[in-house]
Structure 1
Amino acid sequence: MKTNLDKGFLLSVGALVLLGMGACSKRAGEASVETPPALPAALVELAVADGVELPGRVAITGVVRASERAVIAPKVMGTIRSIPVDLGQNVRAGDLLVRIEAAEISAKVLQAQAQLTQSKRDLERERSLLEKGASTSETVKNLTDRVTIANAVLQEAEVMLGYTELRAPFDGSVSRIYSDEGSLSAPGMPLLEVQGDAGYEVEASIPESLAGRLELGAYYSVSLPASEGQLQAVLKEVSSGFDISSRTVTARFSLPGGVSARSGQFAKLVVLGPSKRVVTVPESAVSRVGQMERVFVAHEGAAQLRLVKTGARLDGDIEVLGGLDAGERVVVGGESALREGQALIVKR
């Protein structure tokens, strides 16, 4: 009797196991997804990524300055009596910028004037006496020389007095003021700076290794923070000597007229460097998705997606800095509709 019960129990368990396996098999079948149909082959044109030798380009930071500028400094010592101009004020050539009070120089002018007046009076008296025979020609000659000397002393004193008034050397504007009224000035000490209206230039320190590639009169690309795109600046001047500490040479590049710039702005200048070998493809081979740049490469008859980094544009081509090797074939045009792995048919 026990044997029959055991057999029945085993049969029941086996049936349950078979039923469970069937249910699992059914659920697995329901969860399976059908393989999507293959994409149709795309008809495309291909171009070969070229490896070309190009002159290298080196970016150098420069500073924008007015083409015409002057630092106003006195030639005499004294107290700054007045600065009748403000920062940014437009001035005309000859306008008064700074007046210096120098009592000693003013006193010398008065003294020279008095000396000249006395010398002339003495000369006139002796000439009158000479006509009456009461003087000599030698005395008159000595007094004439004394008048000449006194006149020269007065002119010198007046020139020194003129140095107490500093005037604008050309039309422009006041770009900097270094001192205040009441301050003591000394010969050669900058008091203010004037910049002209003749335009702007970029001043840059060029490394010694690149200085030999500079060419006077040639155009160079410049970008400014306030200007869109690239500007073309002309190299107008290169210093004859190198800075010993930095091993650089100073160069000045004239910006085109009418450009929106301010003195002191930074500028990025591009000069030629050592040649380098780069990979280029037609611009139409590169597409952009957001911030990413990509190309499709023909690999074993199918489209292979590559993310790339591009550089300079070169007459319809574009430099590829990474992600592609010279000699690889890229899809030109219509690549936006391609998909990874899609079969390709090349136009003949």
Structure 2
Amino acid sequence: MDKRVKWGIIILVGAGLIGLGIHNFTPKENEELNEASPTIKTNKKKSLNVNAQIIKPHLLTDQLFVSGKLMPDEEVDLSFETSGKIIDINFTEGSFVTKGQLLAKVNDSQLQAQLDRLKAQMPLAEDRVFRQNALLQRDAVSKEAYEQVKTELATLHADIENIKANIDMTELRAPFDGVIGLRQVSVGAYASPTTVIAKLTKITPLKVEFAVPERYARQIKKGTRLSFKIEGRLDAFDAQVYATESSIDPETHTLTVRALYPNTNGELLPGRYADITLKQNEIKDAIAIPSEAIVPEMGKNKVFVYRSGVAQPVDVEIGIRTEAEVQIVRGLAAGDTILTSGTLQLRTGMPVVLDNIN
């Protein structure tokens, strides 16, 4: 083979190999990426439908919500001060009784006999004093003799009063107006001072007892008004604080408070739980927003506002909280439009469409 032909073939083969290498290492267009790119671009521009609210200053009431219980104004387990057999029960279970009303009695026949005997001695003792005094006026008797009969008369009076006191102890009387509960004994039973006859409860007025966190302790004072609700009733009842405990409970770090509810008609019974609302401060022209608009992030609070069709985050400083709103003390102003839904999906600069504006 001719030498020129041989070198020509070698040159052609080398050029082919070089061309193939250049083709393999040249970057090619990614068809899958090209197909996905329009979707990504579309997603970047996709807007989110949200609800919004235009901030309008309004009155904001700082309220404290706690649980409590209704308590009777007075309550006592009734029992006799002495022992004996019950001979009479003079009350109807569940009825209203008045202060001083006789409720029950134990046998006092022996005491009555002693009282009669002492009373029978009174005329003679009084006559002795009268006669001795007349004799003393004429110096016919010593003063010591006169003092002796006076002492005997005074002792007789004291014995009579003692017997009467013992007789009073055989009578069980209502210490205050109230509703008497179920009786625990029957006529003929033997009662002692430890025997409970029935429970007497004063339900007009009622006490409302509850506890507040220690940070509110100085805000709760005598005269503070509150309202409460109980299960099964839609209406609220108004009460007024009349006393607070003298110190903070070191275990619960709360202050026990009591209020009075008139309960004029006796419609509420003690022992029920109550949901209590305490009004603290009223702030006029407050900037307040729904609590769901707040987005906590790394120890800070932010909200998203609507500006030129997109969502923009704003750091805010919050004040008091109510059941549904949060006061904003810095970061927002009247007229700002805040986004109240989809807050977890929102990002800086994301386009948004306002579905509902309050």
- Give % identity: 20
Q: Structure 2 vs 1, CA of residues 80 and 127 (structure 1 numbering), >3 Å: closer, same or farther?
A: same
Q: Within 5 Å, give how 1:229-308 maps onto structure 2.
A: 229-240=235-246, 250-258=256-264, 260-271=267-278, 280-281=288-289, 301=309
For residues 174 and 232 of structure 1, the distance between their equivalents in structure 2, rounded to whole angstroms, comes to 26
Task: Encode CA deviations 1:123-180: one digit per residue, 9 max, x unaligned.
Answer: 4665687799975453233112210121122112212211221223444331454544
CA distance in 1, matches of 2:271, 2:307: 53
Q: Pick from 141, 160, 163: which aligns with 1:157?
A: 163
Q: Please state whether the residue corresponding to 2:204 is helix, strand or coil.
A: coil
Residue 289 of structure 2 aligns with an amino acid whose one-letter code is: V
| SS of residue paired to 2:274 | strand
RMSD: 4.9
Conserved? CA contact 2:179–2:200, under 8 Å: yes
Residues 48, 272 of structure 1: alpha-carbon distance in 2 compared, 3 angstrom cutoff: closer
* Residue identity matched to 1:194: L
How many residue pairs match? The answer is 266
Letter in 2 for 1:281: I
Question: Per-residue displacement from partner, 1:312-340 (whole Å, max 9, x unpaired)?
Answer: 56xxxx427xxxxx9872489xxxxxxxx
Task: Please list the CA deviations of residues 284-305 of structure 1 after superposition, one character each: whole Å capped at 9, or x if unmatched.
Answer: x9xxxxxxxxxxx9698489xx
Q: Secondary structure at the match of 1:67?
A: strand
Q: Does 1:112 align with 2:121?
A: no
Which residue number corresponds to residue 172 of structure 2?
166
C-alpha distance 84-118 of structure 1, shift in aligned 2 (>3 A):
same
Taking structure 1 as the reference length, the TM-score comes to: 0.57
- Match in the other structure for 1:195: 201
Question: Judging changes above 3 Å, is the alpha-carbon distance between structure 1 residues 56 and 282 closer, same or farther for their aligned structure 2 residues?
Answer: closer
Instruction: Write the mapping of 1:1-348 to structure 2, written as runs, cut at 5 A.
Output: 46-48=53-55, 57-62=64-69, 64-102=70-108, 105-106=111-112, 108-120=114-126, 122-123=128-129, 136-175=142-181, 177-187=183-193, 190-196=196-202, 198-205=204-211, 210-240=216-246, 250-258=256-264, 260-271=267-278, 280-281=288-289, 301=309, 312=322, 318-319=324-325, 329-330=338-339, 343-344=353-354
How far did 1:215 drift? Answer: 1.4
Residue 242 to residue 282, structure 1, CA distance change in 2 (3 Å):
closer
AA of the residue aligned to 1:268: D
Q: Which runs of 5+ in 1 are unaligned?
A: 1-41, 274-278, 286-296, 304-310, 321-325, 333-340
Q: CA deviation at 1:102?
A: 4.5
Which runs of 5 or more residues in structure 2 are unaligned?
A: 1-48, 281-286, 294-304, 312-320, 327-331, 342-350
How far apart, CA to CA, are the structure 1 residues paired with 2:186 and 2:210?
32
Per the alignment, in what secondary structure is the counterpart of residue 160 of structure 2? helix
Report the secondary structure of 1:98's partner residue.
strand
Cα 1:128/1:229, change in 2 over 3 Å: closer
TM-aligned CA deviation for residue 344 of structure 1: 4.3
Contact conserved, 1:66 with 1:196, CA < 8 A, in 2?
A: yes
Choose 1 or 2 for highest CA Rg: 2
CA contact (8 A) 1:298 1:331 kept: no
Matches of 1:241 and 1:104, distance apart in 2: 52
